[in-house]
Structure 1
Amino acid sequence: MTIEPQTGPLCTRESLASELRALGVRSGETLLVHSSLSSLGWVCGGPVAVIEALLDVLGPRGTLVVPTHSADNLDPAAWQNPPVPASWWDGIRASTPAFDTRTTRSLGVGVVPETLRTWPGALRSVHPQTSFAALGPRAAGIVDGHALDCRFGEHSPLARLEEAGARILLLGAGFDSCSAFHLAEYRVPATRVTNSFAVTTPQGRRWTTVEDTAISSDDFDDLGADFEKTHPVLRGRVGGADSRLFGLPDAVTHAVAWIRENRCRTEGF
């Protein structure tokens, strides 16, 4: 069997930090990062080196935020990748472990967020599906108060990031990963849906159902492309990754107008 050699570029903590600074990441800022480790190349130290590089650039006054979503804490009737037999649904609802900020793994957001989740001093919001983790002096203010019936809205870390004037770094990730666009979905007419998950209550574990705003990232690539036409988006390479850096408040404001124009008209609102 032939073993293929590693492909590059070779990335180190130092090289990543240098390229992040060149892209425009600033010391002391609050930064929401969506990332793809594999897009960077061969990283000496893996996700730990990526986080160390980000922290080196942000410095002690900066705050690093990542999505730590746990998409498997979801009603099994909605599972698609893959679906499970209907005969299993009641058993899954009864047995899914309750969300725990300390032990529930992140899923579907990459290995960098999962590494930050367990980083010493990191804090995590309490939503059982769409939590965020943060590290730095603004962390507590960002993750506190994440309501169970508000995945990405006014009572979520995204709204706190907007208030803080945070920026977004798409580190080898596309606009389809840009969770801030979901905040805009809460500010336009939208369908309400039921959402279920396992949580810990004072009475113990409970399977809980709430009403929340319907969300979809299906058109976020189109939304992001339109955003880039009229707003300053810093672009560059970090390792082998095409990366973008831009203001979160600007992205949300643009997304509200875009969704009103492109979705509400077709959905009849």
Structure 2
Amino acid sequence: MNSQELSAALRELGLQRGDIVLLHSSFVSLGEFEGGPEAVVEAFLQVLGPKGTLLAPVFGDLGILTNVVRQHPKAVISTAPVGTLAAIGAKAKEICEDHWKAETAHGEGTPFLKIADLGGYICLLGVDQDRNTTLHSVEALLRLPYLGTTAPKFTAPNGKRIAKVWKYYPGPHRDFIGLDHYFREAGIMTKQRIGNAEVRLLKARDMIDLCLEIGQSDPAFALCDNPNCEACVRQRADLFAHRIKTQESFRLSASSRLAGRYVPEIIDNLKANGLSAVELDFLRGRSAVILPVDKLTGVVAEFAAAGISVSALRAPAIPADIDRMLAAIRDAGISRIILPFPYFEDTLNKITGTDLAVSFVNTGQATVDIVRMITNIRKKLSCSCSFTFNPKNFVLANENPFLYSWRVGRFIKTTGQLDILDASWDTVSTGLAGGNAEIKELVSILRCHNFNGWFTLGGGGSYPGSLSDAVRAFTELLDTI
């Protein structure tokens, strides 16, 4: 293939004189090319003419054609150490200047957005959407919460050596390849074979606008769904955490039993799912209540060092040495405990006066009995007292948790936590909204009240799956309310 044939093919693809095009490329994809990489660049410049502009990314080792553009005697290099572009042509200076002043490497005020605003194109020559840097512009415009920062030192145009923080900087992995079908289906991309290379051409503005629309409805649009891709798992977790923090009034935790057996495993699983709080119920298959104070303190410290708070310690039963348990919890730095309702007056008296926040959970009692117990307890307790509503245990009591228990008990006044789990009438654990616990209705009504207490995944029972399964099911539940 020669430059004349390439020029003709580029015109057939849709490029014209005066156009602006950002080229991502693989020279070897063309096959044998007369005149080498320099002839390829000259073919582009010939098609674009003196009023057109050719750009290429030069922020790394991105192929021989990018080097030819960068080393061209008329090349202008954008003034930023990240997302750097080289440009040749009439708009080269206008597009590249002041890149270093932009807040981000790829967003507003950068060459990538200027190309779009000027009606420019993106050309992928022998490469796929994985090399399409302008897709990072969409992420920056959306200010996606999984994006980070970078602060390289560089020499500014005034000659001063400075360090600047660039916001909304992309991480290591994306599934940009998976976006290709959107562009085909929307009719905004032309594609044809040139030499041995598959070549794609898109209007930058059309692509950005389409991806903004997709990303606004699905912030994970650019991430892969491979559960073994650590980068995208972490970034999806960041999206989930941001959603709960900014869009919901409730606080979300997961039971330690659901998250794993050992503290390091629990921490990893919580972080992988975007959770920053854990309810201690079981560790290593045993109730956390039996831990001596020094070990319990160490567990709490290990979670805290990882940025994980303890939402509560849940006791499956009230131990005989309740004084020791309460002291150990307090000394370990845990401020809240979940207990079954006490049946004996002396046990209740021991709880009275504690400086812990106490929440009592139903364990199979009928609603009318729970109402009586709450009324009695609130008369005696000087501590902060609330109710942990466990819908699975109301199913165990043969009650409809929402249609009967919630309404008859008027638990909106006392509930401080909703355990997020489900079960069928025969008490078999099910996925969320797959049983008779009416969990969807309960979550919905609490959201209507802007509930600011705790939702705890797997709280007070077993969940038929992993923490990831529970988070995915809970997300789907929220999406359908």
| Same fold flag (TM > 0.5) | yes
Q: How does 1:57-68 map to 2 (within 5 A)?
A: 57-68=47-58
1:114 aligned partner:
67
* C-alpha distance 203-156 of structure 1, shift in aligned 2 (>3 A): closer
- Is this contact kept in 2: 1:37–1:110, CA < 8 A? yes
Output the CA distance in 2 between the equivalents of 1:221 and 1:61: 32
Output the CA distance in 2 between the equivalents of 1:117 and 1:58: 17
2:6 aligned partner:
16
1:138 aligns with 2:91: yes
Letter in 2 for 1:40: L
Output the CA distance in 1 between the equivalents of 2:66 and 2:159: 31
Output the CA distance in 2 between the equivalents of 1:211 and 1:51: 31
Residue 211 of structure 1: how far off its partner (Å): 4.1
Residue 203 of structure 1: how far off its partner (Å): 7.5
1:239 aligns with 2:228: no
2:129 aligned to which of 148, 157, 175: 175
- Is this contact kept in 1: 2:77–2:87, CA < 8 A? yes
2:404 aligned partner:
none
1:102 aligned partner:
none
2:24 aligned partner:
34
2:179 partner SS: helix
2:170 partner SS: coil
1:210 aligns with 2:165: yes
Letter in 2 for 1:230: A
Q: How does 1:213-224 map to 2 (within 5 A)?
A: 213-216=168-171, 218-224=174-180
* Percent of pairs with identical residues: 30
2:104 aligned partner:
150
1:227 aligns with 2:183: yes
1:25 aligned partner:
15
Letter in 1 for 2:27: L
- Is this contact kept in 1: 2:148–2:170, CA < 8 A? no
Residue 204 of structure 1: how far off its partner (Å): 5.2
Residue 264 of structure 1: how far off its partner (Å): 5.0
1:199 aligned to which of 154, 173, 177: 154
Letter in 1 for 2:112: L
1:251 aligns with 2:204: no
Q: Which string of whole-angstrom CA distances, capped at 9 and with x for unpartnered residues, describes residues 80-131 of structure 1?
A: xxxxxxxxxxxxxxxxxxxxxxxxxxx2x21111111110111010111321
- Is this contact kept in 1: 2:105–2:166, CA < 8 A? no
So what's the TM-score if we normalise by structure 2?
0.44
1:90 aligned partner:
none
- Is this contact kept in 1: 2:13–2:190, CA < 8 A? yes
2:202 partner SS: strand
Output the CA distance in 2 between the equivalents of 1:14 and 1:34: 20
Output the CA distance in 2 between the equivalents of 1:195 and 1:145: 18
1:165 aligned partner:
119
- Is this contact kept in 2: 1:147–1:155, CA < 8 A? no
Output the CA distance in 2 between the equivalents of 1:121 and 1:154: 26
* C-alpha distance 54-194 of structure 1, shift in aligned 2 (>3 A): same
1:147 partner SS: helix
- Is this contact kept in 1: 2:105–2:169, CA < 8 A? no
**Deviating more after overlay: 55-64 vs 222-231:** 222-231
1:246 partner SS: strand
Structure of larger gyration radius: 2
CA RMSD of the aligned region, Å? 2.0
- Is this contact kept in 2: 1:19–1:239, CA < 8 A? no
1:186 partner SS: helix
Residue 178 of structure 1: how far off its partner (Å): 1.0
1:69 aligns with 2:91: no
Gaps of 5+ in 1: 1-10, 71-106
Letter in 2 for 1:121: K
- As a proportion of its length, which structure holds more helix? 2
* C-alpha distance 12-222 of structure 1, shift in aligned 2 (>3 A): same
Letter in 1 for 2:188: P
2:165 partner SS: strand
- Is this contact kept in 2: 1:223–1:258, CA < 8 A? no
Q: How many residues align?
A: 221
Letter in 2 for 1:219: D
* C-alpha distance 211-236 of structure 1, shift in aligned 2 (>3 A): closer
Output the CA distance in 2 between the equivalents of 1:263 and 1:184: 11
Output the CA distance in 2 between the equivalents of 1:130 and 1:233: 23
Letter in 2 for 1:220: F
1:45 aligns with 2:35: yes
Residue 205 of structure 1: how far off its partner (Å): 4.2
* C-alpha distance 211-29 of structure 1, shift in aligned 2 (>3 A): closer
So what's the TM-score if we normalise by structure 1?
0.76
Output the CA distance in 2 between the equivalents of 1:147 and 1:203: 13
